[in-house]
Amino acid sequence: MEEKKQTHQFKTEVRQILNLIVNSLYSNQEIFLRELISNASDAIDKLRFKSQTEPSILGDDGEFKIKLRPDGIAQILEVSDNGIGMTHDEVMENIGTIAKSGTAQFLEMLKQAQSSETLTPELIGQFGVGFYSAFMVADKITMVTRAVGAAPDQAVRWESTGDGSFTIEPATRDRRGTTITLHLKKRGKEDPDYTDQWQIRRIVKQHSDYVAYPIVMDVEKEIPIPDKEQIKDKDGKPIGETKRRVIEEETLNSREAIWAKPKDEVTDQAHDEFYKHLAHDWNPPLARLHFKMEGTTEYHALIYIPAKAPFDLFHAERKHGIQLYCKRVFIMDDCKELIPEYLRFVKGVVDAPDLNLNVSREILQQDRLVMNIRNNLVKKVLDLLSEMPAEQYEKFYEPFGPVVKEGIYTDSNKRDKIAALARYKTTKSDGKWVSLDEYVKRMQPDQKEIYYITGDDLNALIHNPHLEKLKEKSYEVLLMADPVDEWVVQSLTEYDGKPLKSAEKGDLALDKVDEKHKEAFNALFGFIKGQLEAKVKEVKPSVRLTESVACLAGEDYDMSAYMEKLLKASGQKPPEVKRVLELNMDHPVMGRIKTLYENDRDNASLKDYCQVLYDLAVVAEGGKLENPARFSRLVGEMMTRAIA
């Protein structure tokens, strides 16, 4: 334990966040209280979870609550809890730094949003600003905290005026838990007074009504003086006071477990508020599922689909969204066992009365009941998504589609069901999303396969020369522009009985090559192959091209160009796979090269043409040229000759 008062600087990202909060959430100030109450409630949850295996740690302080103490004269508001508290090291770790992964990217995004003036509270809300939001209303914050198990004189006092530094020193606290004291900023005439009891009641009711622990405040009340204690005249009429003023602790929140209430008794507004509390998200949810399972597996579930993606959706260590309860008693947060990775964005509560209360995380995974609930939840959520009206589903799909698609290759039992949820833009959809069912319905009468192409840029994909022949035949092609699609197509080999086929690999069962025509080019192709030996495994007449002169194709089981790019971007070194150079025999330039080759085999330009043909194929698919300077020089020379 540190002995003296120390001063530390906030980490840069905290300073940035503080700045943002203070400057951009002004109209949402009052949510600071919700954030502090949420932290207090989380701290009690943590303690409670710990006490399940070590009941003695609660001592004689087992009545959990969150206490608010306003002082109007001093303009101070205190929020205390008897939760888990923090040690010196924990304070250093949690307050003053932001440990969340992805903070840097998030801040970068905010900065960009800010410059385009679209910085909204919702955007910041996705991040969950928590504790720091109190600096919107306070110019000094003091926190005294004592961790469970620590002695009274092992408490820690933290203080900051939010201007870049904080102090930390040893302190005493007679009970376990945390007290946050806000020294409120001087108010303008219009500003609300956060020490006003009426205000506090309203804010708690509005934003924190569902917090599971009592949120209490001392209030002065008038109560009638019992009859026999009253002073009365001879006619029995009271001559003194009939009422007395007392201080009473009032509970401000209803603590209703809304998941346990009948579905039709919970209003949309109540759901929205509960969701915000649960998800630390400021946007109302997009959709919800509220149901009670009966029968062998009994449980209540209340599940929300967020409207916006959290900033850390793709960070491995992000929390999952399901809280587990047993008969309304909180068991654990972040219950990964109840929902698969590919549905990690859902938020909600599962309350299972038959759960073994002493479950540990390890046991949970094998618990039959938990497995049943998980299967059930997955089915219900997938049904909900399948049945969503198109417009709502699109809102869902933009942020969460890539996550759900992970299920196609991670949950083989549900593959087809999840594949039906996938949407793609196509060569014919005019920028709109198309489902595989729609695609199949629109297939040409003679079309046997579902064509797709993968890559990272929709615009490059749609103009990819590989698709020329398919377009001519009016075959639609799925444009897969999302990294997960590379994995999707590896496990989704067919849909609705129709094989999925890459437009850039293998033979497309399209028109056959005219054998005679092909023979005429044999010698030239042999020559080109000789020139490009190091780069291509074969030179072939193309069935794919109608307008372009060259493209590179893979064989059926080769890695796609995009997959290769993805692997390289992630630092891996995929084995070099040579591809096939396909040339369009009907292209006028091929005829000219052929004539030149036949008349003058030793013409020095022939070698250059081979290089350029190869480079053209690379450029057309958005690839990277090995030697861009050479390409540019050769094309320049050729243009000069052509124009002269």
Site residues, ligand ADP (CB under 6 A): 39-40, 43, 81, 83-86, 94-95, 128, 130-132, 178
Nearer to ligand ADP, 157 or 425 (CB): 157
Q: The tokens of 146 are what?
A: 């004592």
Shortest Cβ 487–ligand ADP spacing (Å)? 32
Q: Which residue is nearest to ligand ADP (CB)?
A: 130
Shortest Cβ 99–ligand ADP spacing (Å)? 8
Q: Which string of DSSP letters, residue by residue, matches 34-87?
A: HHHHHHHHHHHHHHHHHHHH-GGGGTT-----EEEEEETTTTEEEEEE-S----
Shortest Cβ 237–ligand ADP spacing (Å)? 53
**CA separation for the pair 393, 423 (Å, rounded):** 10
Angle at 461 between CA 460 and CA 467, to 5 degrees: 125
Residue in this structure with the two tokens 């052929």, named with its chain if needed: 594
Shortest Cβ 114–ligand ADP spacing (Å)? 21
Shortest Cβ 85–ligand ADP spacing (Å)? 6
Beta strands (DSSP E) in 316-427 are 322-326, 329-332, 347-351, 423-426
Shortest Cβ 118–ligand ADP spacing (Å)? 23
**CA separation for the pair 145, 588 (Å, rounded):** 81
Would you give the DSSP letter of residue 176? S
Q: Is 374 helix (H, G, I), strand (E, B) or coil?
A: helix
Task: Estimate to the nearest angstrom the gap between the alpha carbon of 271 and the chain centroid.
Answer: 21
Q: The tokens of 189 are what?
A: 């005439």
Q: Rounded to whole angstroms, what are the CA distances from 518 to 412, 446, 529?
A: 44, 25, 15
Nearer to ligand ADP, 312 or 406 (CB): 312
Shortest Cβ 62–ligand ADP spacing (Å)? 17
Q: Rounded to whole angstroms, what are the CA distances from 120 to 36, 127, 137, 439?
A: 21, 12, 19, 38
Nearer to ligand ADP, 132 or 299 (CB): 132
Nearer to ligand ADP, 100 or 428 (CB): 100
**CA separation for the pair 201, 222 (Å, rounded):** 18
From the list 334, 363, 360, 359, the residue with the least C-alpha distance to 348 is: 334
Shortest Cβ 44–ligand ADP spacing (Å)? 8
Nearer to ligand ADP, 176 or 579 (CB): 176
Nearer to ligand ADP, 94 or 376 (CB): 94
| Beta-ladder partners of 477 | 451
Nearer to ligand ADP, 106 or 132 (CB): 132
From the list 76, 60, 78, 58, the residue with the least C-alpha distance to 68 is: 78
Q: Is the backbone of residue 619 left (phi > 0), alpha (psi -120 to 50) or beta?
A: alpha
Shortest Cβ 17–ligand ADP spacing (Å)? 9
Shortest Cβ 278–ligand ADP spacing (Å)? 13
Shortest Cβ 440–ligand ADP spacing (Å)? 45
Nearer to ligand ADP, 130 or 340 (CB): 130
Shortest Cβ 128–ligand ADP spacing (Å)? 4
**CA separation for the pair 142, 133 (Å, rounded):** 14
Nearer to ligand ADP, 332 or 500 (CB): 332
CB distance 150 to 90 below 8 Å: no
**CA separation for the pair 145, 153 (Å, rounded):** 11
Nearer to ligand ADP, 132 or 475 (CB): 132
Q: Write the CB contacts of 204 (distance below 8 Å, at least 6 apart in sequence).
A: 33, 37, 68, 215, 252, 253
Residue in this structure with the two tokens 């939840």, named with its chain if needed: 377
